[in-house]
Amino acid sequence: MNNILKPVVFITLVVGSLNAFAQVTPARILNAGSEPQNWLLYGGDYDSQRHSDLEQITKANVDTLELKWVWQNRGRDGAAEKFEATPLVVDGVMYTVAAPNTMVAIDPLTGRLFWQYAYTPLPEARVCCGRVNRGLAMHGHSLFMGTIDGKLVKVDSRTGKPEWIIDVADPELGYALTLAPLIIGDKVIVGPAGGEYGIRGYIVAYDVDSGEELWKFHTVPGPGEPGFETWEDPEQEAWKIGGGSIWQTGSYDPELNLTYWGVGNPGPDWNGDSRPGDNLYTESVVALNADTGELAWHYQFTPHDEMDYDSTQAAVLVDLNWRGEDRKVMLWANRNGVFYVLDRATGEFLHGSPFVEVNWMSGFDENGRPIRALYPTEEGTFIMPNNQGATNWYPPSYSPVTELFYMPAWLDTYSVYTKRPVEYTPGQQYVGAFPTMAMPALGVNPVNQRTPEEGLGAIQAINPQNGEIVWRHVMSNVTDSGVLSTATNLVFAGGREGHFYALDAETGEELWRATLGGQIASGPMSYAIDGRQYVAISAGAGLFVFGLPD
């Protein structure tokens, strides 16, 4: 454990009064749904449904929403970073991360800063896709944050003072922490990003008090471990640099005591010749025993992936009457363009259907394994969806009121994937040839003749019972926004063009819009103070909070 703070951090305290008695106990986290005025976890609750039971903002009054305050993030060097974090709100205080690694405590009524703790990442830090952080976790009076140089930081939520810093991974080899940690009991669970650098990924749990490592599950198995046989490498070296990154927060079922995590791409990304086989557990969801880290089951969405379809989306846990039988299921909209329903107790494949046009697969076999139709080639192969994916890490929502699943999507995009040789160099990107990525906005799609006027980004409502798209709200640009649903049948989401929308959850009709002037690349959330409901979203370099008129 590294407790030497001065070389890597500085602290700025701003005078403010916080409730010294407010703390997040494991019991409160287990029952987060009973506190709709708060937002205690990154996904709102352990089930990652991102649904709010608050009822003050309705279809009848949502068009009167007004901006209450804005908090601007200028970053450590004065420049704005991508603002991908979803805030926590606990007993009248908001906590969030200004990218890359500055924690802040804010008055959720006014935007006034209570305190700020700024961590300075080491210069060795390297991330493929932006110096980002998606949020915090809280236990007791402590906040937990991962850093882009592979550390886990524990900070006192009342003062902003660091309690400890531990090393999770080596930044010089491309490991980084960009996700919001997950608290389960006395454990804080994280995993490293770095799939483009030839890492060997893992999910690891630490004691919240001491920082001691409690268990570790490698997402790329080694010799003698189940799944190693899926790395059919005669030199038996590919698994050591096989990828399997973790860069989205997991979910948890307390009754089953299973925690669910999506695993990223194998390495190298776009040429699998050096790693024949399915390459478990990349492109999979893994269900782990929360006490031991032991694997209970897995399902692989894209075996032997060569399209970089990271399966790092949110595992949305729902109890459904599935075709006449009450079942614990998992809903999953994958970057590969397919919507899935899995039994979350056993991992059984229940349903899979495309939610955009795909051509990399032609269907599923009797065991739920995708039937591959296309592969990258040296000449180049036209494959749908594109490298960015039909969706990505941006979190979806599920409403128990409408029983619909709401998700952001990129419509009918494609890339030309071309294989090129690649060699591993420690600390350097290990990917192969970058695909040529094109979208209908740049011309007419030659497969379906979609024109630019039809738009690219969309929020879609899906019926989990059959995968059918109930409605689709199309935007003028792509979207990197997460989704929030509410008890009053509203859906909040945004787009890369900077618009923040309130939609009718039953029809998709646009009911309200605010133009925020910057890309929305985060998940909206809702909270209440003194009985008044607010909705928060990050856009550009700002955190925007809306409420009804006074």
Q: What is the DSSP string of 480-496?
A: ----EEETTSEEEEE-T
Residue with tokens 């790395």: 231
Check if the beta carbon of residue 343 is closer than 8 Å to that of residue 321: no
Distance CA 356, CA 335 (A): 10
Return the ∠ at Cα 221 (arms to 264 and 175), rounded to 5°.
45
Reference 266, options 301, 239, 234, 285; nearest CA is 239
Check if the beta carbon of residue 251 is closer than 8 Å to that of residue 46: yes
Distance CA 522, CA 134 (A): 8
Distance CA 150, CA 425 (A): 19
Residue 371: is it exposed, middle or buried by C-beta count within 10 angstroms (0-12/13-18/19+)?
Answer: exposed
| Residue 483: how many other CB atoms lie within 10 Å | 27
Distance CA 165, CA 177 (A): 13
Reference 218, options 207, 230, 203, 236; nearest CA is 203
Cα atoms in the Cβ-side hemisphere of radius 13 Å centred on 301: 34
Specify the amino acid at residue 50. Answer: R
Dihedral, 28, 31, 521, 478 alpha carbons, nearest 10: 180
**What is the distance of C-alpha 505 from the center of its chain?**
22
Reference 529, options 107, 94, 111, 92; nearest CA is 92
Distance CA 59, CA 428 (A): 51
Specify the amino acid at residue 207. Answer: D
List 149, 278, 308, 480, catalytic entry: 308
Which one-letter DSSP state was computed for residue 434?
Answer: P
Residue with tokens 């805030």: 87
Distance CA 509, CA 453 (A): 19
**What is the distance of C-alpha 296 from the center of its chain?**
22
Reference 399, options 491, 512, 513, 493; nearest CA is 491
- Contact partners, residue 327, CB within 8 Å, separation at least 6: 319, 320, 321, 343, 350
63 is catalytic: no
53 three-state secondary structure: coil
Q: 62-84 in b/e burial notation, b at 16+ Cβ within 10 A? A: beebeebbebebebbeeeebbbb
Catalytic residues: 308
